[in-house]
Amino acid sequence: MIRQLKYLKWWEWLMVVLIMGLLVCQVICNLYLPEAMAEIGQLLYASADMSQIWMVGLKMLGYVFGILICTIGVSFLSSIVITNLMARVRQKVFVKVNDFSMGEINHFSIASLITRSTNDITQLQQVFSLILTFGITAPLTAVLAIIKVVNLSSSLSYVNVVSVLVLIALVSIIMLIAVPKFKKIQKITDQVNLVTRENLTGLKVVRAYSAEKFQEAKFEKVNEHLTRTERFVQRVMALIDPGMTLVMSGTSLAIVWLTAYISGNDPAAIVNMGEFTQYSVQIIFSFLALSMIFMFVPRGIVSAKRINEILKTESSLLDGEGNIIPEEKGTIVFDNVSFRYPGADECVLKNISFTVKQGQTIAFIGSTGSGKSTLINLIPRFYDVTEGNIYVDGINVKDYKLHDLHDKIGYVPQKGSLFRGTVTENIRYGNENATIEQVKEALDISQANFVYELDGGLDYQISQGGKNVSGGQRQRLSIARAIVKNPEIFIFDDSFSALDYKTDKTLRMKLNKKTKNVTKVIVAQRIGTIMNADQIIVLDEGNMVGKGKHKDLLKNCQVYKEIALSQLSEEELKK
């Protein structure tokens, strides 16, 4: 938890010092209130003049006003400090996750990363608020109130000793039972988020297969597990209130009984009973507040550890030295590349080698699971190769700064990914400085003219994930986003699969005309999409089983020929 404090600004540390000063003033005012009340009692007992009583009463009002000002000031300043701190921690976590490779993201799981970015930071914020509020007042009040109690009556002070010991024993037992459950609660929350996210992202499949009951049963299982754990912790924690009430009532009763016993020899002792009782209550409340801190700090530690796990994890995709001036442009070379996913036993790509020159189109085809998408994901370094090297513009991709490497590439995933905002904002995601003319040109090339028929046209609001447009429309908008970037290399990961043949053909024709000198890397299932590629690579179970042009592969590669004949007739293939 202490590691998070390094994100405080210098002026916020000054605010923390000011908060500590206000808390000390608050404690002092609280301690003088019982003394002032006892003074009024003594004046009444002595039948003093009313003016003296009024003066003490005004002094009490001053203490109350001081407590009010200090409380408001502490609440206001602490809210600023803690919310600012947590905002920076949240930002650090977000930036860190953005730098993760897919390996690190899969290691934590998306559901867990969401929980850590939201629930864990909220837990930590609550604990910091508790510490900042009671971390000073509780121990200071306890110490000063004990001194006051001993000075008032050493014989009555034993009542507080017993009360505090009983309270500490009660809270210690509760902590031993409840604290181990805090870490368990956070892990189960991860599972709840995982099941919820899985259900929402796969909602169409769930409904299509009438699997609602199955998903509900799966959710009910983790939800019930979380409910049982939370219920257990809440029940244990609920013992604090009645336990505290019992201790306080017992303490008050003991003080009254002992005061009555002592007052037989000294009637004036009754006057001090109220003051002694109030100090006793302050002592009990102070130890209770300390107990609450000790109880909730472990929960904050659990959350802080989960947050620190993210912040301490270094991405496997490290920036190269950068400051490189390539002598080539738009070239790609795979030199004996093999790749194995983290934790996997076997390579999904084995000994892949090929060269692509500027302006050429290279296509990859193969059966499902042959490694096509994995291969092209190695170019922008979504993963790093296990063996071999990849060169872009004659330079190893590991020597680039990731930002510089990605600037060269226009990437279009198979599943078009859009963001909440207007059509124009989504297209400019590829180039924030693109003019409206460039946006319109990109839409024209990508055959996304349907935009002008939408309500608002270019200002049409795309919903989160692009759920208010069709799959084919999302793909075309994703292609337009890549076009407006004007990259050296296009990567199309089966990005034409949702388009009809006519749209596919027109789009590729316009794209080729506009981007003659731009290298194109295409993954496709359709033979018609890649027939005219300068180079076609055929993959089968991670191995490169064919390389060449369409006509050559029909003669020399059986795997390619089988795929081609499954889609088109021999007459169509010869055209």
End of a domain among 279, 294, 312?
312
Is there a single domain that holds both residue 302 and residue 423? no
And the tokens for 164?
Answer: 């505090």
Is there a single domain that holds both residue 245 and residue 102? yes
Residue spans of alpha helices (H) in 381-534: 402-407, 423-427, 436-445, 471-485, 501-514, 527-530
End of a domain among 297, 312, 327?
312
Return d(Cα 80, Cα 125) in angstroms, integer. Answer: 12
Of the given ranges (333-337, 343-347, 558-562), which has the lowest mean pLDDT? Answer: 343-347
Q: The domain spanning residue 233 has which CATH number?
A: 1.20.1560.10
Query: Is 395 within the bounds of a domain?
Result: no
Query: Is 475 within the bounds of a domain?
Result: yes
pLDDT-above-70 percentage for the chain: 91
> What average pLDDT is seen over the chain?
83
pLDDT tens sequence across 154-166: 666 777 778 778 8
- The residue type found at 389 is N
Is there a single domain that holds both residue 35 and residue 184? yes
Domains of the chain: total: 2
Which is more confident, 375 or 504? 375
Query: Is 372 within the bounds of a domain?
Result: no
Is there a single domain that holds both residue 39 and residue 182? yes
Q: The domain spanning residue 435 has which CATH number?
A: 3.40.50.300
Is there a single domain that holds both residue 288 and residue 421? no
The answer on pLDDT for 333 being more than 90 is yes
Query: Is 568 within the bounds of a domain?
Result: no
Instruction: Find, among 311, 571, 248, 451, the residue nearest to 442 by Cα.
Output: 451
Query: Is 84 within the bounds of a domain?
Result: yes
pTM of the predicted model, to two decimals? 0.72
Is there a single domain that holds both residue 294 and residue 424? no
Query: Is 74 within the bounds of a domain?
Result: yes
Is there a single domain that holds both residue 231 and residue 109? yes
546 near 553, Cβ under 8 Å? yes
The domain in which residue 254 lies consists of 2-312
Is there a single domain that holds both residue 25 and residue 152? yes
Mean pLDDT of 314-340: 83
Query: Is 220 within the bounds of a domain?
Result: yes
Query: Is 242 within the bounds of a domain?
Result: yes
Return d(Cα 441, Cα 419) in angstroms, integer. Answer: 21
Is there a single domain that holds both residue 272 and residue 127? yes
The answer on pLDDT for 334 being more than 90 is yes
End of a domain among 289, 312, 335?
312
Is there a single domain that holds both residue 34 and residue 174? yes
pLDDT tens sequence across 456-490: 888 888 887 778 888 888 888 888 999 998 899 99
